[in-house]
Structure 1
Amino acid sequence: MSTHSNQATGRTSSTVLVTVLCMSGTVVALQQTLIIPLLADFPGILGIDYASASWLVTATLLTAAVATPIVSRLADMFGKRRMMVVSLLTMVLGSVIAAVGATFPAMLVGRGLQGFASALVPVGIGILRDELPKSKVAGATAMMSATLGIGSALGLPLSGLVYEHFGWEAIFWLSAAVGVALLVAVLAVVPESPVRTPGRFDYGGAVLLSVALTALLLAISKGGTWGWGSEPTILALVVSLVAFAAWFPYELRVNQPMVDLRTSVRRPVLLTNISALLVGISMYSNMLSTTQQLEVSTVTGYGHGLSVLVAGLCMMPAGLMMVVVAPIAGRLIGRVGAKRTLVAGALVLAGAFTLRIFLTGSVPMIVAGAMLVTTGTAMAYAAMPMLIMGSVPITETASANGLNALLRSVGTSVSSAVISAVLTAITVEVAGQVFPALGAFKVVFAMAAVAGAVAALVAAFIPRQQSAPVVAPIPADAVGAPEELVVTGSVLHADLQPIRHAVVSVFRTSGEPVDWSRADKAGEFSVVLPAPGPYLVVASADGWAPRSQVLEFDESRTRQSVVLAERLRLRGRVSAGGMPATAAVVTLAKTTGEFVASTRCGDDGRYQLALPPTGRYLFTALEPGSRCTSTRQIFVLAQSATIDVDLAEDLEAVRAP
């Protein structure tokens, strides 16, 4: 347990904190696009072929996918600022190695280490939740999410300018210098959050997920080069499938999983993450296709023949559009909710790409279309973290947003592979040169529009969230909630043995929700309270009668055990003609045929079974001596139930014509 402290920041203003964290988000995006303008020149610089040079992008993609969920989980466990520092140090080290090495292996290692910066966004969003007044969280989160688009848009012209005037090494030295400056700023400004879930890190889950993601993204990103039906691509897909098949059941069994799948499959979280995948596909289609469309030679009849640098500069208005829209999206979330904002953003994406099919005649029209796309992107990206944070325990904020960010990243990888396939499949030959046809770009835009429309449809089924709990006012320039408490405890039954996977919900005594937690296999839970005081604590678990109680918490009382004393039962009496059916057998099975439980009745004909999970079952009673049976379909609710059976009555009903 820990109380919140602002000593690290000296009451730093929220504006400074948000600025530092948003700069970290911009750096993440820069790592993804910084070397794209140089890919054509790296074969000559490093003495390699183009296929090898493309690994400099793939390496960052792979480490980013692996690092994001792992670092996010570690942030929830050991401290968010600490993991931001680790990520920045790794990025700086990678930048220096790439700048100094001047060889392909050194560059590959450096680019891989730079990928660790990807975790800065979900971890930063978690810090915003922990440190800002609730009234500012939506706007700050919107801006943090928007930095992904801002950095991507700025990275293309920035790297082109630096490369043209100072050489390729300067790009990596610039990345290292910015990383060091951010590291100093984080240490000076960002306080370490007390919101943690200490425990044992899930090494097995981390390894299995890393293998699964690496193999999947290798297949997606390299399938076009290797051939979609080639042995390496098929092997990578098989390895990914096997690793995922092992990872899912493992995460359900492990005591403290790296990814809480039980929370992740809750409808609000699952649908938000599916939307994230689809929005990632749609968003990245804009980033990749627009620059290529602007650079296509004028000899094609539709191209504009811009240089890489000028095409990159044309993307800047789209990036700046996200700066303008992000705070508007934050206010929109406060007025209409995160769900409606996500639906609206996805619909704007779908509409913008539909317009882009027709807006191809001039550079201003293409730039305007790209700006419309980033408007929808900013709205969608602003809403998703708010939906996630409103649906998961506070102690899982960073890891849950890390999974959401990971799915966005997978979406961008899928988008990249699909766009490459389309632009190389639909071509036109002019003067002996092969170019992507205008129809290829229109197909890309149509596919992106469909992805946006499906994302809106999926988001429309996200359950509406209740209003956020009302909290005491905090000064406008203050960061944090000084009295926030992290409360831990365990859920036990009467003999003090743990009840695993119990759910503990905490409310204010006036009824507003505060936080909730799912107990692990050892019955341990943790929740975050905004301040000391009395709270309504409600605990429930499958097969147990729920219990509620009002408990007082302060700095000296931050651990509480909750005892569920009453085991829910399915009970009743089996008789035959009014007489007890001694030793009758009672069997319970699922309607799909799977056995659940059985027992024998006592001398008085009474039986008792532990209550199974809610659902439909087949209840059967058998008297062995007479072989009389009775079967009926029952529906079990989360409360004790009584079912009496008279075999003689059932037998008469069977004999009746």
Structure 2
Amino acid sequence: MSAAPATGSSLPRREVGGGFVAVLAFCGIAVSVMQTLVVPLVSELPQLLHTTSSNASWVVTSTLLAGAVSTPVMGRLGDMFGKRRMLMVALTLLVVGSLTCAVTSELVVMVVGRAIQGGAMGAIPLGISIMRDELPPQKLGSAMALMSSSLGIGGALGLPAAAFVAQHTSWHVLFYGAAGLGAISIALVLAVVPESAVRTPSRFDLLGTIGLTAGLVCLLLPITKGGDWGWASGTTLGLFGAAAVILLLWGLFELRTTEPLVDLRTTARRQVLLTNLASIMVGFSFYAMSLILPQLLQLPEATGYGLGQSMVMAGLYFAPMGVAMMLVSPLSARINAARGPKVSLISGIIVIGATYGAGLVMIDHIWQIVVLSTALGVGIGIAYSAMPTLIVSAVPARETGAANGLNTLMRSIGMSTSSAVVGVILARQTTDFGGVALPSKDGFQMSFMVACAASVVGLVIAFCLPGRRRVPGGVPGSVSSAPAPAPKPEPVVETAEKVEQEDAVPALTGSVIHGRVLGSDGAPLADAAVTLIDTGGRQLGRTVSGRDGEYTVAAPGTASVVLIGSAPGHRPQAATLLVSDVPVVCDLRLAGGGGLTGSVRAEGGGPLAGATATATGADGEVAGSATADEKGEFALPELASGAYTLTLSADGHRPHATQVELTAGEPLRVDVALTPAARVRGTVRDQGGQPLEDARVALLDASGDVVGQSITGADGTFGFEGLTGEHYTVVASGYAPATRPVTVGADAPEARDVDFLLSHG
């Protein structure tokens, strides 16, 4: 089958701004946040939309179906008419759909708005394709890793934010917020992202689009609604059968079409096919945890296995998964570069399987839930980041949009299947709690086992992926002792990991490059990273400097290469060198950043020894942390120049965050006084004035959610510490319950005493 050449594919890559990757990742996170908007509202949707639970579920189903269809279609249209242009279309759909949902309380209009929102799901594969077209190879790996992980990052971080907004404001605000994120994304794309020159001029496959849409609707509809209709019902089985027939006929049509929507011959390549199959298993495993842990956290403690947390707190305990996914994206890029994306995918799936295995016995405490969600975030982040590298390295540039769209679709199918399977398990494995059927502990453990089995299947598939091919080469040759002068080093703006290619770098022969890595004051820098790449961005060698700053790295016999030096707290430096068959001497001098110092004290009090100072970069990654000494002083000298968020926290105090801008020169100093956290305490007595033992005291926040519970001892006392809100209600029960509103913090005292007298009457 012939294909039109990719227009502009031979043009040199343009220089893109430093915020290019951040903007595309922000777009991906904004789109994925949209998916989780209604999760906190699922139980309330029937009342909010004045309909039945079955009808209200279409608010979720419509987005799923629209997203499944839009991802491959948007990718193909991007290949044909411009990826940036279609990215703008996807973000516009996000804004229009969000505003449609924000102004209505009618079911039909809401479903239409959510379907329009689902059309924005094509933004993530489009962003990956733009990165391939615009970024040099040495920057592409880590960029694609972050963009691919944005699907999970936005979902994990958006859940607690959505829960908070839903509890404290009108639910319509959620959709206004999504529209705002979409509008900001559009403005950033217009300002930063260029239009790709790589095009595939062809005719749009309208019949293929209709066939794929019909097939996906018939497949995903019974998966998501089978629990309501009955898995053995005629509707469910009929739709599954129709899906099989339609997709089979669609595949035959696509194979005979000269310009298909999805090139099935490319999709059938071993690496692409197996990656897509593994994506289904990873998507299944990712979404299973998203369904299991929030329910465990919110079930009442009286069940014996529930943890009694509010909706907002459950979301916050689940949020570390998204943070972990963001932080491990660079790690996945390094694994891709050093060992290949197959090893990266296998490593991620092993972590996922181990997490679900541990979950069989680690669901009894909140800290265990946090550990599980964080570990799963690490595994998902590594696995998700490897997938676009596997896809991109196996398909021609003209098909990257459609290929990545199809891969995103495979993940969505896995997530949809996970929702159905876990939903069936938890619906059948129940326990009676006060006349209400709740999911049992056995049901949660069985769900963990099924998700673990899915990860094992994904691991088997990943092991079947083609390995990284090696090209044999010679061994390093003899080196002359006569040094040759090196050209003056030329600085570069930034460096990153290279993307994995099908063929590995052959063994090097020829000379070496050696020298010292020095600081701005001329002092040697130990443990500085020294990387050698060719002019195409392929890594040729890597080492670290010794205690005296000395380094030695092998180089090819005769070539123009780039030597890069980097160290924490210093600006990277690069030099372009022309090497021959003799050693080359090159000293790298790294300019230092200013660093950050300061102090932490209690408001109106003394220093807070042991307080934690944490600096996070613009991408949310932790750049450094330190513990305050006995004088409350802290220092972060390793921070390079740039913008950071400094967060200071201490036990018994409310955390404080501030934006700082570091420049080269003297360290920036920040002194902060932390406000003590509030507390409520008191005593419960009977009518005779005697302390009442075993009385239950609950603390409710301003929304009416229980945020703390206490059982009085023999002295009748109770207490709640570390409160960050202002308005609470204390409820004491043992005989007839009594309530008392309490205001703490702000203009009220930080500590309040609340006593109760309880009686039978």
Task: Using structure 1 for the length normalisation, give the TM-score.
Answer: 0.70
Q: 1:432 to 1:119 in 2, by over 3 A?
A: same
Q: 1:86 to 1:474 in 2, by over 3 A?
A: farther
1:390–1:465 CA contact under 8 A, matched in 2: no
Structure-2 residue corresponding to 1:186: 189
Deviations 1:457-504 (A, max 9, x none): 111111124489xxxx99854899xxxxxxxxxxxxxxxxxxxxxxxx
Give the drift of 1:104.
Answer: 1.2
Q: Distance in 1 between matches of 2:40 and 2:213?
A: 29
Structure-1 residue corresponding to 2:17: 13
Structure-1 residue corresponding to 2:177: 174
Q: 1:6 to 1:185 in 2, by over 3 A?
A: farther
Out of 207, 210, 217, the position equivalent to 1:207 is 210
Q: Distance in 2 between matches of 1:381 and 1:393?
A: 21
Q: Distance in 2 between matches of 1:78 and 1:313?
A: 41
Structure-1 residue corresponding to 2:258: 255
Structure-1 residue corresponding to 2:712: none
Structure 1: runs of 5+ lacking an equivalent:
481-505, 511-529, 532-657
Residue identity in the other structure for 1:13: G
Structure-1 residue corresponding to 2:299: 296
Structure-2 residue corresponding to 1:46: 49
1:13–1:479 CA contact under 8 A, matched in 2: no
Out of 314, 319, 325, the position equivalent to 2:317 is 314
Q: Distance in 1 between matches of 2:222 and 2:147?
A: 30
Q: Distance in 2 between matches of 1:453 and 1:172?
A: 38
Deviations 1:89-145 (A, max 9, x none): 111111111112331111111100000121111110111111112111111111111
Q: Distance in 1 between matches of 2:326 and 2:338?
A: 20
2:317–2:369 CA contact under 8 A, matched in 1: no
Q: Distance in 2 between matches of 1:474 and 1:240?
A: 59
Q: Distance in 1 between matches of 2:469 and 2:408?
A: 24
1:319–1:374 CA contact under 8 A, matched in 2: yes
Structure-2 residue corresponding to 1:126: 129
Give the drift of 1:298.
Answer: 1.4
Matched, 1:345 2:348: yes
Matching of residues 494-505 of structure 1 within 5 Å: none
Structure-2 residue corresponding to 1:380: 383
Q: Secondary structure at 1:225's aligned position in 2? A: helix
Matched, 1:406 2:409: yes
Q: Distance in 2 between matches of 1:27 and 1:410?
A: 21
Give the drift of 1:178.
Answer: 0.9
Residue identity in the other structure for 1:377: I
1:326–1:382 CA contact under 8 A, matched in 2: yes
More helix by percentage: 1
Q: Distance in 1 between matches of 2:412 and 2:60?
A: 13
Q: Secondary structure at 1:429's aligned position in 2? A: strand
Give percent identity, aligned residues only: 40
Q: Distance in 2 between matches of 1:208 and 1:56?
A: 24
Q: 1:432 to 1:244 in 2, by over 3 A?
A: same
Q: 1:338 to 1:295 in 2, by over 3 A?
A: same
Residue identity in the other structure for 2:104: G
Give the drift of 1:54.
Answer: 1.1
Matching of residues 582-601 of structure 1 within 5 Å: none
Matched, 1:239 2:242: yes
Deviations 1:68-95 (A, max 9, x none): 0100111111111000000011111111
Give the drift of 1:339.
Answer: 0.5
Q: Secondary structure at 2:103's aligned position in 1? A: helix
Deviations 1:269-296 (A, max 9, x none): 1111110011111111111111111111
Give the drift of 1:5.
Answer: 7.6
Structure-2 residue corresponding to 1:572: none
Q: 1:361 to 1:479 in 2, by over 3 A?
A: closer
Give the drift of 1:317.
Answer: 1.1
Deviations 1:146-198 (A, max 9, x none): 11111111121111222223201111111111101100111111111111111
Q: Secondary structure at 2:398's aligned position in 1? A: helix
Which structure ranks higher in relative contact order (CA pairs < 8 Å, sequence separation ≥ 6)? Answer: 1
1:4–1:193 CA contact under 8 A, matched in 2: no
Residue identity in the other structure for 2:255: L
Out of 376, 391, 395, the position equivalent to 2:394 is 391
Q: Distance in 1 between matches of 2:382 and 2:234?
A: 41
Give the drift of 1:238.
Answer: 2.1
Matched, 1:113 2:116: yes
2:78–2:85 CA contact under 8 A, matched in 1: yes
Q: Secondary structure at 1:399's aligned position in 2? A: helix
Q: Distance in 1 between matches of 2:494 and 2:254?
A: 39
Residue identity in the other structure for 2:218: A
2:320–2:377 CA contact under 8 A, matched in 1: no
Give the drift of 1:52.
Answer: 1.3
Residue identity in the other structure for 1:41: E
Residue identity in the other structure for 2:403: A
Structure-1 residue corresponding to 2:600: none
Structure-2 residue corresponding to 1:223: 226
Deviations 1:560-586 (A, max 9, x none): xxxxxxxxxxxxxxxxxxxxxxxxxxx
Q: 4+ residue runs of structure 1 moved beyond 6 angstroms?
A: none
RMSD of aligned alpha carbons: 2.3
Q: Secondary structure at 1:101's aligned position in 2? A: coil
1:348–1:375 CA contact under 8 A, matched in 2: yes
1:226–1:233 CA contact under 8 A, matched in 2: yes
Task: Using structure 2 for the length normalisation, give the TM-score.
Answer: 0.61
Out of 301, 325, 328, the position equivalent to 2:328 is 325
Residue identity in the other structure for 2:21: V
1:277–1:410 CA contact under 8 A, matched in 2: yes
Residue identity in the other structure for 2:426: L
Out of 100, 105, 114, the position equivalent to 1:97 is 100
2:36–2:155 CA contact under 8 A, matched in 1: yes
Matching of residues 566-605 of structure 1 within 5 Å: none
Give the drift of 1:231.
Answer: 2.1
Q: Distance in 2 between matches of 1:258 and 1:297?
A: 50
Q: Secondary structure at 1:435's aligned position in 2? A: strand
Q: Distance in 2 between matches of 1:187 and 1:475?
A: 29
Q: 1:475 to 1:399 in 2, by over 3 A?
A: farther
Give the drift of 1:324.
Answer: 1.2
Give the drift of 1:235.
Answer: 2.3
Matched, 1:271 2:278: no
Matched, 1:23 2:13: no
Q: Distance in 2 between matches of 1:283 and 1:475?
A: 42
Q: Distance in 2 between matches of 1:431 and 1:43?
A: 23
Q: Distance in 2 between matches of 1:112 and 1:241?
A: 24
Residue identity in the other structure for 1:317: P
Q: Secondary structure at 2:467's aligned position in 1? A: coil
Give the drift of 1:230.
Answer: 1.4
Q: Distance in 1 between matches of 2:273 and 2:91?
A: 30
